[in-house]
A and B are shown apart, each in its own frame.
Chain A
Amino acid sequence: MRFIHLADVHLDTLFASRDDRLREALRDASRQALANAVDLAVARDVDAVLVAGDLFDGERLSFQTERLLIGAAKRLADAGIQLIYATGNHDHSGAGHRGHGLEWPESVMLVKGAEPQRIEVLREGAVVGHVTAAGHETAAEERDLAASFPPRARSGLPEVALLHAQVVGARDAERHDRYAATELRTLQLAGYDYWALGHVHRSQRLGDRGEIWYSGNTQGTNPRDTGPKGCLLVDLSSSGTPDVRFHPLAPIRWEILSLSDIGGAGTLSALVARVEREWSESRRSDPDPAREWILRLDLTGSTPLSRELSSDAELVQLGFEIERVLGVLAVDVRADVHPPADPATHRGRHDVLGEALRLIEEARASAAVRAALAPDELARSGPADETELDAYLVELLDGLDAELAARMLAGRERDR
């Protein structure tokens, strides 16, 4: 039995960006990723395509995407490939959902109930394996759906489990909502030849036996979705460990470049040159020349450019420049930097700066001082009570001493 395991396509998910062009490119990329998966399935003549949930973001599924999905399913059906699709939290089968009642072709095996369902996988009319799958019925499935999976059947054929779930301990699992959470041990005990999982966006193998896999998502949806994105081509033809190979599908990749030691760059040009060097180095270790890139550049630490990097307009311009130099689709620059002067060295001063730095220390230590310093009216709406307000003030105090020193010290001393 040979199949493609994919998950978290997230068609029609929102890409938070002010750039229309970028949002459209990412939407097209997520659609193209699905088309690439179908191409791969047809080219490799697989028996089935298994989708482990979150094929689309149901709350905003558009008419166009609906047609695209149905079209992809028809292509697979025309090629004689079964599509077995178990719903996830974003495309759950509950009422009131935009994806509810989608009219799939007859060949699609849609699993939308929490009760596991065993499906035959056919090749030219003969059964070559089985897929046991369960789906999400709501947007926040709190049950351990894996626990309800029956033990592996003794069919003499490959037995595959298909589920959208969070496995505790998986890498990056904490970045996702804790839906249908389960333990690795639960999966192992069920004894299936292969677990096709969805929900966590990082492709990874769980456990040490090689039968439990997250395929990861097919196209990154936000800056933290770094690394190659695609699907897994799984071959269970031979006994023993499944033969699992990753195939990239995403036309666009997100990457984060974090630089914390930028003190040596005295000008923005030097900073750009430094970024170029780091990026080249990064690409040498992870070449993927056929794709487009969106880069998140995180700048931290002390720098003589702190004033420039505190200006939104400068950051945007810097992003454009780096985008041009690196030849990437977009660059988002985030800076949390402070001037070279260390505020700690000024804390003992007998002047207003020393007084203000000591006042910040007092504010960090005392809620009453924080409350006294709080602006009369806050721009940010939301702090519902004193506790929430105080937590917000604590957040605002973070790094405030560095900014204070930067603003109060005259130029030479500030930049020393």
Chain B
Amino acid sequence: MRFERILVRRFGRLAEFDTGDEPLTDLVVVHGPNEAGKSTLFHFLVTLLYGFSPASSNRHMYAPWSGDDIDGEGVIRLSSGEQVRVHRRLLSSPWGRLYRDGSESDLRNGPLPWTGSVHPAVFEHVYALRLADLARMQEDAWHRIQDRLLGSMGAADLRPARVVAAELEEAAARLWRPDRRASPRARQLLKELGRLRQARLDALDRDATMRRLARELGELESELVVTRDERTELKVLIDRITVLLPVRQHLARIEELEREAGDAAELDGLPESPGRALETLEAEVSRLEEESQALADRRARLEATAAAFTESDAALLERAAAIRELVRRSGGIRESMARLGSAENELERLAQACELRSREIFSGDWSELDSGRIRAVPLGELRERVRSHREANEELGRRDANLAAMRALAASGARRSALDGRVLPVAGGAMAIAGVVTGSGVVLAVAAAVMVLAVLALWTARRSAVEHAATLRQAQEARDAVAREAEASRLGVARVLEGLPVAAALLERPGPELVQSVESLGAALAELEAAQRQADALRASITDAEERLSELAALLHVEVPGDFVAGALGLESALRDAEARGAAAKAARDELRELQRAESASRGRHEELGGRRDRLRDRLAGLGGGDVARGGDVAAARLALRRRAAELRDELERRHPDLAELKARIRAAEDDGEDWTRDADAHIRAGQRVETLDERERELIVEIGDRRHALAQLEREHTLDHIEGAIDAVRDELDAVSRRRDRLALLARLVRRADSRFRDKNQPDLLRRAGEHLGRITGGRYGRLELPEEQADGSLLLHAPGRTDPVVAAEPVSSGTRDQVYLAIRLAIIDHLDADGERLPLFIDEAFVNWDAARLERGLELLAGLARERQIFLFTCHDTIAAPLQERGARVLRLSRPD
């Protein structure tokens, strides 16, 4: 088939691309730079042939960005000469139409019918030869390339068959192997199965053992029941012999004693020894009568004692507290009296002292002095005024002395000035005379100087006298002022002491001794007044006590001496006597109450014992036929029998708290026909048998415990169903493993067989054709290819004409030659793939860029030849490739890169 026209409305970057009405040639060169759309055009043609992949516009890589549908068509000329048109669009779902012979058919997304057996994946991988494919060939080992080229016919989507087969065989061997090597899964499972089978046998054994143990356990438990039953019977027998029989005998003896004792009612209430009891009762009655008399005597004495306590005694007792208070105060009163005497002496002494001090200060009679006025003198003020007066006097003294001194000094100064006034003129005159006498100028000068001095001295003396007179006048005036001040302070002292007959001398020259005397007198007067108050208080206290004593004595009609202390003691003595009588009377009354009860009790007891005595005497007389003494003996004997029976019963009950039950058992045994005739031998034999049975019971319990324990242990082990479940599961897995292995082995064999068959079928012709292509490309350098089976690495051999030794298509053979080998094989494969149908177009993309010029020329020549059989689209961006092909008649489609 050939594309005669290609119309791309929208497919990726191609839009409204149309090759036009002129049919495309066998060899089409698509010329354009990279990214001009060559690859897009290839995929468009693939889509026309096979439909859309993927079939969704959302996921299709060539869906226009504008959102328009993919749309395009092609006109194809078939080898038969028929022309068909195919139109495909990718809407929401793929749409396709095939137009031929004036009719159309719905392609949907299916391939064109002439694509035949070439799978779209194979077409994409094999019919598009790119430079990258050749580069990959350089890297791969040849045996891998031949797998890909010869096994998968170049389709890159297939894994090498021999690799797949080897994997399958390996996987199968991991599951099962016919030999003993390794440890495949099946062998592991068989081993496990063996273990489980043994476990199954063990489980069967265990089950049998458990059944045997259970059977034995049942037998032992039955024997245990029988043993215990027999022992129970024997214990009943022993019980009758050892327990019931003695009790029964005991009970019989009691019954006999009670029968001999006779009617119990006749003896009820009788003492154990009735005769002695009667004697005791009579003695007791006599004693009670004596006791009654003694009690009456005692009551008379007690009544007299009670009457001795009088109303006066009661009055004393009522005021006992007051009397005792007076007695308690008597000591204090005595002391107060003594202190009063002392106080009066002290008063006298203080009065004398005050008088003496008064005389120091005052004139006149002491007794007329107002002691209050004395104590009211403000001592502070007095002291201050006395101090002012003294200081003023002292200042006055000092000023008088100064004045005297100043006067003396003035007198001596006047005398010295007079001397100077007289001496110097004399001396001057004398010297002047001498000067004149002598005529000496010096002497005259000195005489003049002395005369000057004499004048000066006279002037100075006169001036000094005037000054002294002024100073004396001032000093006199100051002294007078001080004298007035001293007088004023003296008058102040007198005013402070005004109203008091102070001695005039003291007032004339008041000094500190005046202040001290006034102060001492005040203190002595205060002390005297305090002593007076104390003496008054003592006196009042004593008087009060004496008055209370007199009142009490009068009230209680008790004569007391006049002395307070003696009177108080007299009252106290009377009180003590009254208290003694009161206590005796109270004790007597208390005892009288007790005595009345004792008398009452004694009377009651006397009546009771008398009654009992009378009744006992009557009953004994009855029992003795009127003879009381005989009756006592009879009663004593019958009571002894009854007592013995009771003792026996008590002993029986003490020994057997369950006596009632024992009696019931005795009755039950008698109901069973027990004759109570078993002897000691029977008891011994039964005891021995019980011991034997006890021993057997212990053995049985041990044996039963052992079997139960063994059973419990075995029950914890796995049961048959559990193990067979595991066996079944292992068998299932073994079966699955076996089936899986067989399936893998079958598949491996099948893959190898298919690989071999495919090679057998295709390889010779394929290699022949590839050899022809290679010969044309290499100009006959290599003319034949060989893939010998014996080559372990699957290497491809290249044969050169005239040479017997082939070369391996690997290094050091040049990479260019290996590219050409690859292209030759690829062209042969393509021939092979569609040999039975339409020849599908071939697309070659820049595969020749690395070829030398000669081989490129031959290669293009080869393609031009092949294009007569199969349309070839050659994509290139090189003019050096496009131009020669155009010369050979190729149509050149030019694509340009969009701006």
Give the complex CA separation of A377 and B719 in angstroms. 37
| Cβ contact of A396, chosen from B122, B726, B739, B751, cutoff 8 A | B739
B530 close to A (CB within 8 Å): no
Expressed in whole angstroms, the Cα–Cα distance for A359 and B161 within the complex equals 14
Q: A12-B719, A350-B122, A396-B743 are in contact. Are A379 and B738 (CB under 8 A)?
A: yes
Does B746 sit within 8 A of A, measured CB to CB? Answer: yes
C-alpha gap A132/B17 in the complex (Å): 92
| Given contacts A379-B186, A410-B157, A350 and B715 within 8 Å (CB-CB) | no
Chain A residues in 8 Å Cβ range of B732? 16
CA distance A132 to B500 in the complex (A): 162
Q: Please state if B733 and A351 are interface contacts (CB–CB under 8 Å).
A: no
Q: Which of B41-60 contact A (CB under 8 A)?
A: none
| Residues of chain B contacted by A268 (CB below 8 angstroms) | none
B 696-725 to A, binary, CB cutoff 8 A, 1 in contact else 0: 000000000000000000010001111011
Residue B400 lies at the interface, judged by CB distance under 8 Å to chain A? no
From A15, A16, A355, A374, give the contact of B746 (CB < 8 A): A374
Within 135-175 of B, Cβ neighbours of A (below 8 Å) are at: 151-153, 155-159, 161, 164, 167-168, 175
Proximity string of chain B (724-751) to chain A, C-beta cutoff 8 Å, 1 when within and 0 when not: 1111111011010111011101110111
Return chain B residues, CB-CB under 8 Å to A18.
726, 729-730, 733
CB contact under 8 A between A360 and B721, given known A17-B729, A63-B214, A349-B117: no
**Contact pick for B151, options A352, A376, A404, CB 8 Å:** A352
| Residue of B119, B158, B754 ringed by the most chain A CB atoms within 10 A | B754
A24 at the interface (CB under 8 A from B): yes
**A: number of interface residues (CB 8 Å):** 56
List of B residues within 8 angstroms of A403 by Cβ: 743, 747
Interfacial chain B residues near A413, Cβ < 8 Å: 121, 157
Chain A neighbourhood of B737, CB < 8 A: 379
> Residue A365 at the B interface, CB < 8 A?
no
> Is B750 a contact partner of A363 (Cβ separation < 8 A)?
yes
CB distance from B179 to the nearest CB of A (A): 10
Q: Does A378 contact B (CB under 8 A)?
A: yes
Look across to chain B and name the residue whose beta carbon is closest to the beta carbon of A18. B729
A13 x B721 contact (CB < 8 A): yes
Q: Which residue of A lies closest to B748 (CB)?
A: A375
Instruction: Give CA–CA (A63, B719) in the complex, Å.
Output: 9
Check B459 for interface membership: any CB of A closer than 8 A. no
Say whether B719 contacts A64, CB under 8 Å: yes
Q: Which residues of A contact B159 (CB under 8 A)?
A: 407-410
CB distance from A15 to the nearest CB of B (A): 5
Indicate if the CB atoms of B119 and A14 lie closer than 8 Å. Answer: no
Query: Which residues of B sit under 8 angstroms from A407, Cβ to Cβ?
Result: 159, 164, 167-168, 747
CA distance A408 to B116 in the complex (A): 22
Distance in angstroms between the alpha carbons of A23 and B750 in the assembled complex: 41
Most central of B118, B152, B175, B721 by chain A CB within 10 Å = B721
Complex contact B722–A24 (CB within 8 A): yes
**B721 CB contact (under 8 Å) in A12, A373, A374, A393:** A12
**Could you tell me if B746 and A349 are in contact, using CB atoms closer than 8 angstroms?**
no
Is residue B832 contacting chain A, with contact meaning CB distance below 8 A?
Answer: yes
Say yes or no: B754 contacts A380, CB within 8 Å.
no
CB atoms of A14 and B158 under 8 A apart: no
Tell yes or no: B99 within 8 A of A by CB: no
On chain A, the residues within 8 Å of B211 by CB distance are: 63
Main secondary structure of the interface of A (DSSP, over half): helix
**Is the C-beta of A353 less than 8 angstroms from some C-beta in chain B?**
yes
B758 at the interface (CB under 8 A from A): yes
Q: Is B122 a contact of A352 with CB atoms below 8 Å? A: no
Taking a contact as CB atoms closer than 8 A, the residue among A13, A64, A379 that contacts B741 in the complex is A379
Assess whether B722 is in contact with A27, with CB atoms less than 8 Å apart. Answer: yes
Q: How many inter-chain residue pairs (CB < 8 Å) link A and B?
A: 167
A404's nearest neighbour on chain B, judged by CB, is B747
Least Cβ–Cβ distance between A259 and chain B, in angstroms:
21
A109 within 8 A of B: no
B residues 167-219 with Cβ under 8 Å of A?
167-168, 175-176, 178, 186, 207, 210-211, 214
Query: Does B755 count as interface, using CB distance less than 8 angstroms?
Result: yes
What separation, in Å, do the CA atoms of A281 and B732 have in the docked complex? 31
Which residues between 202 and 261 of chain B lie within 8 Å of chain A, taking CB atoms? 207, 210-211, 214
Q: Is B407 an interface residue (CB 8 A)?
A: no
User: In the assembly, what is the distance between CA of A400 and CA of B751, in Å?
Assistant: 11
Whether A352 lies near B158 (C-beta < 8 A) is: yes
Cross-chain contact B157 with A412 (CB below 8 angstroms): yes
User: What is the CA–CA distance of A61 and B715 in the complex, to the nearest angstrom?
Assistant: 13
Within 8 Å by CB of A57, from B721, B722, B751, lies B721
Count of chain B residues with Cβ under 8 Å from any Cβ of A? 61
User: Chain A 319-347 against B: per-residue CB contact (8 Å), 1 yes, 0 no?
Assistant: 00000000000000000000000000110
Contact B725 A356 (CB under 8 A): no
Are A63's CB and B742's CB within 8 A?
A: no
**Which of chain A's residues 368-393 have a Cβ closer than 8 Å to chain B?**
372-381, 392-393
Chain A residues in 8 Å Cβ range of B678: none
Q: Looking at chain B's contact residues, is the secondary structure mostly helix, strand, loop, or mixed?
A: helix
Given A63-B210, A409-B157, decide whether A351 and B726 contact each other with a Cβ distance below 8 A: no
B747:A379 contact, CB within 8 angstroms: no
Say yes or no for A247: interface residue by CB 8 A criterion.
no
List of B residues within 8 angstroms of A13 by Cβ: 721
A152 within 8 A of B: no
Confirm or deny: A151 has a beta carbon within 8 angstroms of a beta carbon on chain B: no
State the Cβ distance, B192 to closest chain A Cβ, in Å.
Answer: 9
Q: Which residues of A contact B175 (CB under 8 A)?
A: 379
- Chain B residues, CB < 8 A from A397: 746
CB pair B158–A379 under 8 Å, yes or no, is no
Q: Is B751 in contact with A404, judged by CB distance below 8 angstroms?
A: yes
Identify the closest chain B residue to A393 (Cβ).
B746
Of all chain B residues, the one with the shortest Cβ separation from A15 is: B725
Assess whether A60 is in contact with B724, with CB atoms less than 8 Å apart.
yes
Select which of B121, B164, B729, B746 is within 8 A of A373 by beta carbon.
Answer: B746
Closest B residue to A64 by beta carbon equals B715
B776-829 with Cβ < 8 A to chain A: none
A106 close to chain B: CB less than 8 A: no
Q: Are A380's CB and B739's CB within 8 A?
A: yes
Chain B, residues 753-767, CB within 8 Å of chain A (1/0): the string is 111011001000000
User: Considering the chains assembled together, what is the distance between the CA atoms of A413 and B156 in angstroms?
Assistant: 10
Take A350-B118, A409-B158, A412-B157 as given contacts and tell me if A375 and B738 are in contact as well, using a CB distance cutoff of 8 Å.
no
Task: Name A408's contact: one of B158, B728, B729 (CB within 8 Å).
Answer: B158
CA distance A66 to B750 in the complex (A): 55
Contact (Cβ within 8 A) B728 A16? yes
- Residue of B with least CB distance to A65: B719
CA distance A221 to B680 in the complex (A): 71
**Inside 8 A of A377's CB, which chain B residues have their CB?**
178
User: Within 8 Å of chain A (Cβ to Cβ): is B27?
Assistant: no
> Which residues from B are CB-within-8-Å of A20?
722, 726
Q: For residue A62, which residue of chain B has the nearest CB?
A: B719
Question: Within the assembled complex, what's the spacing in Å between the Cα atoms of A353 and B117?
Answer: 13
A381: which B residues are within 8 A, CB to CB? 738
Which chain A positions have C-beta within 8 A of B715?
A: 63-64
Contacts of B119 on A, CB cut-off 8 Å? 345-346, 348-349, 354
- Please indicate the chain A residues that have their CB under 8 angstroms from the CB of B210 in the complex: 63-64
Knowing A359-B754, A404-B747 touch, does A351 contact B721 (C-beta < 8 A)?
A: no
Q: Is B833 an interface residue (CB 8 A)?
A: yes
| Chain B contacts to A: CB under 8 angstroms | 116-119, 121-122, 151-153, 155-159, 161, 164, 167-168, 175-176, 178, 186, 207, 210-211, 214, 715, 719-722, 724-730, 732-733, 735, 737-739, 741-743, 745-747, 749-751, 753-755, 757-758, 761, 832-833
7 closest A-B pairs by beta carbon, nearest first, are A356-B754, A379-B176, A380-B738, A16-B728, A375-B745, A413-B157, A379-B738
| Known A348-B117, A352-B755; further 16 A-B contacts with Cβ < 8 A | A60-B724, A62-B207, A63-B207, A63-B210, A351-B152, A351-B155, A363-B750, A373-B750, A380-B735, A400-B746, A407-B164, A407-B168, A408-B164, A409-B157, A410-B159, A412-B157
11 sampled A-B residue pairs with Cβ under 8 A:
A15-B725, A16-B732, A18-B726, A349-B122, A350-B117, A351-B155, A352-B758, A356-B751, A397-B746, A408-B751, A410-B158
